[in-house]
């Protein structure tokens, strides 16, 4: 395998860290939620933490994500498609080409909301917890800041 292809694979793995899996709710529309869940439940590590040592491994991973896109229920299909695009974009990275790296970073950032959403759907509808999704910006409710403690409060008029 060429060094530039190996670097692209490493970049893909980094980009995958900002992605998640898909959802499993079969809402009666396009896709096959039950099969989708079953495919992911059978081997979640193959999607979340794939072994990528060769070009063939990378090609197989891309094909797997595309196959899952065909099964994804309509309720989550747009989000899964965004994740597929993220993986496809990451697979084109050439480390010596700052423009290709920037494209992959921008796509990973643009996919954060979808990744968080499909991770939630996967947990709720398939019973599979793939762990937290790495994001640049918070994707859930943000707690209000806690004011610093100043000790005792002076009495009024005092």
How many angstroms separate the CA atoms of 158 and 103, rounded? 62
Q: What would the pLDDT profile of 78-117 be if each residue is shown by its tens digit?
A: 999 999 999 999 899 998 999 999 999 999 999 999 999 9
Whole-number pLDDT of residue 19: 41
- Provide the percentage of residues in the chain whose pLDDT is more than 90: 42
How many angstroms separate the CA atoms of 22 and 65, rounded? 10
Angle, helix 33-42 to helix 55-71, in steps of 10 degrees:
150
The ranges assigned to domains in the chain are 3-126
Please give the helix or strand (H or E) that residue 17 lies within, else none: none
Whole-number pLDDT of residue 104: 92
Cα within 13 Å of Cα(140), Cβ side: 7
Q: What would the pLDDT profile of 112-152 be if each residue is shown by its tens digit?
A: 999 999 999 999 999 988 877 776 665 555 566 666 666 55
pTM, whole model, 2 decimals? 0.69
Per the CB < 8 A criterion, the answer to whether 18 and 104 are in contact is: no
């Amino acid at each position: 395998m060429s060094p530039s292809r190996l670097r692209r694979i490493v970049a893909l793995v980094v980009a995958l860290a900002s992605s998640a899996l898909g959802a499993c709710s079969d809402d009666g529309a396009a896709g096959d939620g039950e099969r989708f869940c079953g495919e992911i439940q059978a081997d979640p590590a193959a999607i979340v933490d794939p072994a990528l040592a060769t070009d063939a491994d990378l090609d197989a991973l891309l094909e797997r994500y595309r196959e899952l896109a065909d099964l994804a229920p309509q309720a989550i299909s747009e989000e899964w498609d965004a994740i597929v695009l993220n993986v496809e974009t990451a697979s084109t990275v050439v480390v010596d080409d700052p423009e290709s790296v920037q494209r992959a970073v921008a796509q990973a950032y643009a996919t954060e909301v979808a990744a968080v959403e499909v991770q939630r759907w996967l947990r709720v509808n398939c019973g599979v917890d793939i762990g937290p999704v790495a994001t640049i910006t918070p994707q859930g409710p943000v707690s209000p800041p806690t004011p610093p403690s100043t000790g005792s409060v002076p009495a009024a008029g005092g």
